[in-house]
Structure formats: C-alpha cells, structure tokens
Amino acid sequence: MNTAYSKLWLDYKPLNIAFAGSLAVRCTRRVRRGCTAVSELITALSALLPQAELTFGADSAVFIIELDLADYLSPEEYTISADERGAAVYGGSENGLLYGVFAYIREIIANGGFTRLSRRVRPAVPLRMLDHWDNADGSIERGYSGSSFFFKDGELLVGDRTVQYARLLASVGINAAAINNVNVRGKAVRLITGEYIPKLAALAEVFSKYGIKLFLSVDFSAPMSVGGLPSADPLDPAVGGWWRAKAAELFGAISGLGGFLVKADSEGQPGPYAYGRDHADGANMLARALKPYGGTVIWRAFVYNCSQDWRDTHTDRARAGYDTFAPLDGRFDDNVILQIKNGPMDFQVREPVHPLFGVMKHTGIAAEFQLAQEYTGQQLHVCCLIPMIKEILAFRTYNGSPDDTVLGAVRAIAAVSNTGDSFCWTGSELAAANLYGFGRLCFEPSLNAEDILEEWISLTFGDDEEVKEKLLYILLGSHKAYEDYTVPLGMGWMCKPNHHYGPDPWGYEFDRWGTYNRADREAVGIDRSGRGTGYSELYYPPLCDIYSSPASCPDELLLFFCRVPYSFTLKSGKTVIQHIYDSHFEGYEQACEFASLWESLKDKLPAEVFDNVKKRFAEQLRCAKEWRDIVNAFFHRLSGIEDEQHRKLY
Ligand code: GCU
C-alpha cells in the first residue's frame, strides 16, 4: 500500500490576513474538549492563522469561537452564527457539531477571514454512504486509483491513512462506508469471523470519531461458507439462528457497526433464489438478525438475467429491477434499505432514472451512484458527475407523493467510491471533485453544482480567478463532452467488453449481458414502448407517454427508448445520423479545448498536480479520437449516409 497521501481539500494554507492577538475556543460544559469537532477546529485554526495565539476559554481573547450542543437541533444538524468579532457553532450532537465546524472552516477559507454569517443546516438524507469495491487481497474491482487502503494480502489495515480518509468523509458530510466489494470473494468471506473482529473494532473506532458507520458486504451463503451449515435458506431456522448469533458477536465487539450490504442473486452471487425464496425473504431474515442492535441491511436491486440469448428481443434487462422488486413493495422490514442504481442498466453515461424510485412507496430505498468512472473514462478522462447526480436527485417520478422527486423518495444516497491508495486518492487530481461534490450534494442537495465545484476548487487550488474559471469550465462541460464523443442519444454499451474502456460498438451486441443497440442498415435503438418491450410503461404518466414516442422522447434518451431510422429528425433539428457524426467531432474538439486550458495553467499549479492531469489529458485525447473515429465509421458503414460537413470518416 502506498502510504504517502495528499490532504486534498483539507490542506489548510495560512490565510492572507494580519490577525494579531489571541483566539479562544470556548466549549460549553456539554462539549468534550477532546472531541473531534474541537480537535478539527484547532487543527484548522493553527494552520490558517499560524501567528494567532490559540487558547481555550479565555474571555478576553480578541476572537472567540464558542462550541455548544443544542437540544432543539436534530443530531446531525448544526447552526453557525458569526461576525467579525466571534462565532458560535452549535450541533445537535458531537457529529452535528463536527459538520458545523467543518462548515465554518470552509467559510473562513472562502472569505479569507472572519465574517458575518448565519446558517442552520441539516442533512437532507439520514444515510450518506460510500461503497468500496475493495477486495481482501488489496485489489479493487473497477478501481482506477491504485490498490486498496483498507486491505493488503488479506489483512485489514488501520492507520494514519484511515484517519485521513475519515476526516475527508466527515468534512463533506458522509456518514457511512462499506469497506469491501459487494462481490464477496476470497478472504473477504471471512471478514465477519473472529479473525477480523479486533481490526474491525479498531477501524470502527476511527470511523466513529468522525461520525461514520462501518458497513460490511456479506456473502449471503456465509452460513455455509463460514458456518459449515448445509444450507443458507433464509427460511431455515438454523440459518436465521446462525445469522442472529453472528450479529450478536459482531455488534457486541464492534461499536459503530452500521450493518450489512448485500448483493444477492446477481452476477453469480448467491441469494435466496437457490431455495425458491424471494428477495424480501432473504433481506428480512438478515434484517431481523440485525434489528436488536439497530443494524441496517442494505439490499441491492441490481438483479437481472446475465445469461440472456442476444437473439431474444423480448427479454429486456432494463425491466429486470422493476419486475423483480416492484411486486415486493411493502414486504421489506423497516431496517431494510433497497439500494437502487441510478438507472436501470449499469452506470452508463446516460440512462433514464430507474423506475423503481417511483414505485417502491412502502420500502426504504437508497439511490446508488458510481463515482468510480467505470463507464465514464475510468478516471483517465475528466468526467464530473455532480451535475448529473443533482439532476437525478431532482427528477420527478410523478408517483403522487407530496414530494415526488428521487430525493424525496430516498432514505439513503450511496456511491461506489473512486478512491484507492494513489497519492491523490482518486488517481486523477480532478476526480476528487466527484468525491467532494458527492458528499456535499448528499448533505445539501439544494446547493447548485457550480457552487459546490467552485468551493472544491478554491479549497484545493486556492483563490486564483483564472484557475477557478478555467477549471469550472472544464468540470462543468466534461460530462457532455464525454457523452458526445462516446455514446450519445442514450445508446450506451459501446465500450470494450470486460474492462469497459475504449470503443467497441458491437462489443456487447452478441453477448449474454442484455446490452444491445440493435443497429442495422436502416435504424438504431430499442423500442421500449408498449409496442416493444414495454419498459416505458413502468413510469407514471406523463413520463410513460413521453418516453413511448420518438416525437416526445427527449433527444438524449431517444435511442434508449425508441427505435428510429437514421434519418429521423431530433428536436434539435438534426437527423440522428448527423447528430452522431457532429457530437463525436464536437466532443473530441471540446476535450482538446479542455486539455489546452489545463496546459495554460501550468505556472499556477503545483508541478505534480499539473503533470498528473496533463498525462491523463493526453490519454483522454488519444482515446476520444478512437471513440470518434470508430463510432462514426461504424454508423457510416452501416447506414451509408454521408456527413453533411464532409469530414473525414474512415
Ligand atoms: C457492474 C460492474 C461489476 C459490479 C456490478 C455491481 O456490472 O461491472 O464489476 O460487480 O456492476 O454493481 O454489482
């Protein structure tokens, strides 16, 4: 494991102000002097104002920051009231206070000193979580930032880097982390055994100081793989008993354990189907084992047939999550959270919002995003996901609830983490914007993406206006550029199989994964209306009607929902084929512009940061050109239709 790491947005630099005199931190009786909020405040102040004399509780100080707990606040809520002479930060608990302290530090940095300020903030959803796909051997499934900092050769690691990780998460309001891959393999199966308990307890203790609950991905068949039972049938009393004893052992020894994350009956993982049981049977059995300890079972809705015959045009993978889980709505125990990927397929650059968000009205649900850029450039291409996540959270399902948005429906928001042991944590220095933005957005979804990114830029790179302006332009345009030069119009799945990097228009066409574009000489896309697979009918009106017809379907999702001839005219006025050509040329050009903007910042950025991204831009341009030329050639050869602008097609 790489032990050197950057502090990212917590790398406090001295403020450019002449603050003379003493600065006191005064804790009221209810706030422990040794609590994390106090120590984080001291760490920040001593770095920001190295010349100030820091004391505790002296009333005569020039500036006094008072920390208190307040019963009228919910546990994770905080208030800040401050002016040029002093500040009071209140939290509903020590965790709320910690969030308040981090928020106040951000404000001091943003304002270059102490200013008038009044805030009352409470997180929009109770569970804000990162899911790590780290394996016990230290590798990371879909990891693009080096190796795991949680595991090495089967061993669980707890050290300085873990503390820094917890600080980073808490500073943006993330309060839960599942540390191991949902595909529980190798030694990870044994993570819930006595072997790992001491280290897990130590890890959970670090997490707890920062208000973070520890979650473990578990093997549904653990009663067999570690318990030696002949079955893992959720309705078998011996199996339930085994999990109850397991929960007692784990929760008894690990304080701060949040519960389990489970991928069952999906892509080869074991689950209740083997015993003729359904997902509610499976999830509830585990939930009942965890219930006495306040534990939560996060059960994934990513269930589909991954052995489809590509000739079969009736089976539609997009329907699978809905068809499996909608009939189970109302049957899950209250400590089960059904975790639903943002779209019905698998983290493509553009998908419709998953229809389960509207229909699971009587089930605790979570939205799952993927910060690891599996299908969005693998942290070599810059692709900022924050505007997309914001848009999805604000998406209206029209399910009749008073707040019918995705945000209004969820109890938790989770993301597959993009971290690893690379120096800058996220492989690319720019990918840290996704980590930062995800946390900030989960806590305060009303913030706009631009403000969040601006905040990240100034905390990370300082206040230079040119740096800010150019980086903001790159980040905000990056997702569209990526979509344009890869798979526009909602097609998806034109990447190379297995590793999912680079173009291969038919790489997934004749395979078993349910991932087809069905492009031929005349037309492209899948008819998912009632005349086709019926997927669009899984949405409430007016969405089902909008999606079912090429005339009303939004351009960016057209080929996901509809099958149309290449000559079909989009709302933009272009034909489908011309849009495909244009977007590929334009997306590539846009990426070139980003790269040259970055180049122009050379003298304003630390050399390692500059080089880290420069190298990645070189790869992004190489790869974007491949995407452009291969996808354009593919459609040109199939359709025989010329580019109106007579650009070079191969
Ligand atoms: C994707 C990804 C897998 C992962 C799966 C999941 O299919 O490619 O590596 O295991 O999602 O979310 O479980």
Average pLDDT estimate for 566-589:
98
Q: How far does residue 501's CA lie from ligand 1's centre (Å)? A: 14
Q: Among this protein's residues, is 155 annotated catalytic?
A: no
Provide the CATH number for the domain formed by 127-452 in this structure: 3.20.20.80
- Residues 304 and 627: their CA atoms lie apart, in Å, by 28
Q: Which residues in 486-561 belong to E strands, given as ranges?
A: 523-524
Closest approach atom of ligand 1 to CA 182: 13
Handedness of CA 348, 349, 350, 354 (dihedral sign): positive
Q: ∠169-174-179 over CA atoms, to 5°?
A: 75
Q: For ligand 1, is residue 562 a contact (CB within 6 Å)? A: no
317 Cβ inside 6 Å of ligand 1: no
Average per-residue pLDDT in the chain?
A: 97
Q: Is the pLDDT confidence value at 60 over 90?
A: no
Percentage, residues of the chain above pLDDT 90: 98
425-450: per-residue pLDDT in tens? Answer: 999 999 999 999 999 999 999 999 99
User: How far apart are the CA of 343 and the centre of ligand 1, in A?
Assistant: 13
622 phi and psi angles, rounded to 5 deg: -60, -50
Rounded to the nearest angstrom, the distance between the alpha carbon of 183 and the centre of ligand 1 is 8
Note the pLDDT tens digit of each residue in 260-299. 999 999 999 999 999 999 999 999 999 999 999 999 999 9
Q: Does ligand 1 lie within 6 Å of residue 346's CB atom?
A: yes
Query: Can you tell me the distance from the alpha carbon of 68 to that of 70, in angstroms, rounded to the nearest whole number?
Result: 6
| Dist. CA 647–CA 650, nearest whole Å | 10
Residue 21: Cβ-neighbour burial (10 angstroms; 0-12, 13-18, 19+)? exposed
- Read off the DSSP letter of residue 339: E
Ligand 1: which of 133, 134, 267, 512 to mutate, judged by most atoms within 8 Å of the beta carbon?
Answer: 267
The confidence score (pLDDT) of residue 21 equals 86
pLDDT bin (cut points 50, 70, 90) of residue 211 is: very high
Marked catalytic residue, from 53, 83, 84, 267: 267
Decide: 454 in ligand 1 pocket, CB within 6 A: no
Structure tokens at 245: 């004893």
- 415-437 burial, b if ≥16 CB within 10 A, otherwise e? bbbbbbbbebbbbbbbbbbbbbb
Query: Which amino acid is located at 258 in the chain?
Result: G
Q: How far is CA 142 from CA 377, 463, 500, 622, in A?
A: 11, 34, 9, 21
Q: Each residue of 610-633: pLDDT tens digit?
A: 999 999 999 999 999 999 999 999
Q: What angle do CA 319, 372, 101 make, to 5 degrees?
A: 115
The CA 557 to ligand 1 mean position distance, Å, reads 22
Q: Which residues lie below 8 Å from residue 630, measured CB to CB, with a gap of 6+?
A: 503, 504, 505
State the pLDDT at residue 57.
85
Count the Cβ atoms, other than its own, within 10 Å of residue 19: 18
Q: Which atom of ligand 1 is nearest to the CA of 142?
A: 9
Whether the pLDDT of residue 108 is over 90: the answer is yes
Over the stretch 351-390, which tens digit does the pLDDT of each residue have? Answer: 999 999 999 999 999 999 999 999 999 999 999 999 999 9
Domain 8-121, CATH: 3.30.379.10
Helices 94-111 and 160-172: crossing angle, nearest 10°? 80
pLDDT bracket for residue 72 (50, 70, 90):
very high
- pTM of the prediction? 0.98
DSSP state of 503: B
Q: Which atom of ligand 1 is nearest to the CA of 263?
A: 13
Residue 59: pLDDT band with limits 50, 70, 90? confident
Radius of gyration (C-alpha) of the chain in whole angstroms: 25
Catalytic (active site) residue 346: yes
User: What does the pLDDT look like over 212-230, one tens digit per residue?
Assistant: 999 999 999 999 999 999 9
Alpha carbon of 510 to ligand 1 centroid (Å)? 19
Q: Does residue 501 line the site of ligand 1, with CB under 6 A?
A: no
Ligand 1 contact via 182 beta carbon (within 6 Å)? yes
* Residue 18: per-residue pLDDT: 85
Q: Answer whether 303 contacts ligand 1 (Cβ < 6 A).
A: no
390-407 as b/e: b if 16+ CB within 10 A: bebbebebebeeeebbbb
Query: Average pLDDT in the 470-484 region?
Result: 98
Query: Is the pLDDT confidence value at 483 over 90?
Result: yes
- Indicate if 555 belongs to the active site: no
Q: Whose CA is nearest to atom 13 of ligand 1?
A: 182
Residue burial 247-267, b: 16+ Cβ < 10 Å; e: rest: beebbeebebbbbbbbbbbbe
Assign domain 462-526+563-650 to its CATH superfamily: Alpha-glucuronidase, C-terminal domain (3.90.1330.10)
| Structural domain spans, the chain | 8-121, 127-452, 462-526+563-650
pLDDT at 578: 98
Q: Of all atoms in ligand 1, which is nearest to the CA of residue 370? A: 12
Total residue length of the chain: 650
Are 436 and 418 a contacting pair, CB within 8 Å?
Answer: no
